[in-house]
Structure 1
Amino acid sequence: MKILHLITRMDRGGSAVNTLLSAIEQQRVGNQVSLAYGLSVESEMSAEEHAKVDIDILIFQALGGRIMVLKKMLRSLGWHDMQAYKELKILLNEPFDIIHTHTSKTGALGRLAAIGHKGKVIHTPHGHIFHGYFGTLKTKIFIAVERYLAKKTDVLLALTRAERDDHLALGIGREDQWQVIPSGVDIASIRQRLKTCPKGEIWDAVSVGRLVPIKGMERLIAAWAKVCEMKPKARLALVGDGEEREKLEGLVKNLGLSEAVYFVGWADPLPYLANARCFALMSHNEGMGRVVVEAFAAGLPCVVSDVCGLRELVDDKVGHVVNADNSVEVAEAIMAMWKENMKNETWQRAQHYSLSAMIAGLEKVYQAKKGGCQ
Structure 2
Amino acid sequence: MTPRPDQPLRIVHAVRAPVGGIIRHILDLANGQADRGHQIALITDSLTGGERAEAALAEIAPRLKLGLYRMPIRREPSPSDLVMWGRFARLIGELKPDVLHGHGAKAGVFMRIVPRPPHAIRVYTPHGGSLHYPKTTLKGQLYSRMERLLMNRTELFLFESEFARRTYERMIGTPNGLVRCVFNGVTAGEFDPIKLAEDATDVAYVGEFRKIKGADLLIDAIAKLRADGLRLTLTLGGDGEESEALNAQVSRLGLTEAVRFVGHVKARAGFANGRLLVVPSRGDSMPYVVIEAAAAGVPMVAANVGGIPEIFGPQHADALFAPSQHAAMADAITAALDHLPAAQERARVLRERIFLHFSQKAMVEGVLSGYRDAFTDR
Is this a same-fold pair by TM over 0.5? yes
Residues 76 and 170 of structure 1: is their aligned pair in 2 closer, same or farther, counting only changes over 3 Å?
closer
Asked if residue 79 in structure 1 is aligned to residue 79 in structure 2, the reply is yes
Look up the match of 1:365.
370
Look up the match of 1:320.
319
Look up the match of 2:66.
66
Cα deviation per residue 1:100-157 (whole Å; 9 max; x = unaligned)?
A: 1111111011111146743011110112433368970110110111111121100111
SS class of match (2:41): strand
Amino acid at match of 1:353: F
Distance in 1, Cα, partners of 2:307 & 2:78 = 30
The answer to whether the Cα contact below 8 Å between 2:124 and 2:157 also exists between their aligned partners in 1 is: yes
Look up the match of 1:168.
169
SS class of match (1:92): helix
Q: Alpha-carbon deviation of 1:172?
A: 3.2
Distance in 2, Cα, partners of 1:64 & 1:128 = 25
SS class of match (1:360): helix
Asked if residue 184 in structure 1 is aligned to residue 175 in structure 2, the reply is no
SS class of match (2:89): helix
SS class of match (2:33): helix
Deviates more, 1:80-89 or 1:322-331: 322-331
Distance in 2, Cα, partners of 1:365 & 1:83 = 31
Q: Alpha-carbon deviation of 1:217?
A: 1.4
Cα deviation per residue 1:288-317 (whole Å; 9 max; x = unaligned)?
A: 111001111221233222321223223552
Asked if residue 4 in structure 1 is aligned to residue 12 in structure 2, the reply is yes
Asked if residue 155 in structure 1 is aligned to residue 159 in structure 2, the reply is no
Distance in 2, Cα, partners of 1:51 & 1:71 = 13
Asked if residue 288 in structure 1 is aligned to residue 286 in structure 2, the reply is yes
Distance in 2, Cα, partners of 1:124 & 1:233 = 43
The answer to whether the Cα contact below 8 Å between 2:92 and 2:116 also exists between their aligned partners in 1 is: no
Consecutive unaligned residues of structure 1, counting only runs of 5 or more, are: none
Distance in 2, Cα, partners of 1:210 & 1:132 = 19
Look up the match of 2:3.
none
SS class of match (2:319): strand
Look up the match of 1:21.
28
The answer to whether the Cα contact below 8 Å between 1:72 and 1:83 also exists between their aligned partners in 2 is: no
Distance in 1, Cα, partners of 2:151 & 2:212 = 25
Distance in 2, Cα, partners of 1:200 & 1:16 = 31
Residues 265 and 114 of structure 1: is their aligned pair in 2 closer, same or farther, counting only changes over 3 Å?
farther
The answer to whether the Cα contact below 8 Å between 1:219 and 1:282 also exists between their aligned partners in 2 is: yes
Deviates more, 1:199-208 or 1:215-224: 199-208
Distance in 2, Cα, partners of 1:240 & 1:318 = 27
Q: Alpha-carbon deviation of 1:177?
A: 2.8
Look up the match of 2:60.
57
Deviates more, 1:239-248 or 1:335-344: 335-344
Residues 119 and 180 of structure 1: is their aligned pair in 2 closer, same or farther, counting only changes over 3 Å?
same
The answer to whether the Cα contact below 8 Å between 1:115 and 1:152 also exists between their aligned partners in 2 is: no
- 1:1-374 equivalences under 5 Å are 1-11=9-19, 13-39=20-46, 41-43=47-49, 45=50, 47=51, 49-50=52-53, 52-54=55-57, 56-58=59-61, 61=62, 63=63, 65-93=65-93, 94-114=95-115, 117-131=118-132, 136-174=137-175, 177-186=178-187, 188-192=188-192, 194=193, 199-230=197-228, 232-314=230-312, 315=314, 317=316, 320-338=319-337, 339=339, 340=342, 341=344, 342-351=346-355, 352-371=357-376
Percent identity at matched positions?
A: 26
Cα deviation per residue 1:269-305 (whole Å; 9 max; x = unaligned)?
A: 3123135322212222212111001111221233222
Name the one with the larger helix percent: 2
Residues 134 and 50 of structure 1: is their aligned pair in 2 closer, same or farther, counting only changes over 3 Å?
farther
SS class of match (1:105): helix
Amino acid at match of 2:293: A
Residues 75 and 176 of structure 1: is their aligned pair in 2 closer, same or farther, counting only changes over 3 Å?
closer
Amino acid at match of 2:294: F
Consecutive unaligned residues of structure 2, counting only runs of 5 or more, are: 1-8
Residues 56 and 230 of structure 1: is their aligned pair in 2 closer, same or farther, counting only changes over 3 Å?
farther
SS class of match (2:284): coil
Residues 116 and 52 of structure 1: is their aligned pair in 2 closer, same or farther, counting only changes over 3 Å?
closer
Distance in 2, Cα, partners of 1:129 & 1:166 = 11
Q: Alpha-carbon deviation of 1:250?
A: 1.1
Residues 312 and 124 of structure 1: is their aligned pair in 2 closer, same or farther, counting only changes over 3 Å?
same
Cα deviation per residue 1:296-353 (whole Å; 9 max; x = unaligned)?
A: 1221233222321223223552752222333221111012122122232121132221
Distance in 2, Cα, partners of 1:75 & 1:325 = 26
The answer to whether the Cα contact below 8 Å between 1:7 and 1:36 also exists between their aligned partners in 2 is: yes
Scaled by the length of structure 1, the TM-score of the pair is 0.89
Deviates more, 1:231-240 or 1:87-96: 231-240
- Give the number of equivalent residue pairs: 361
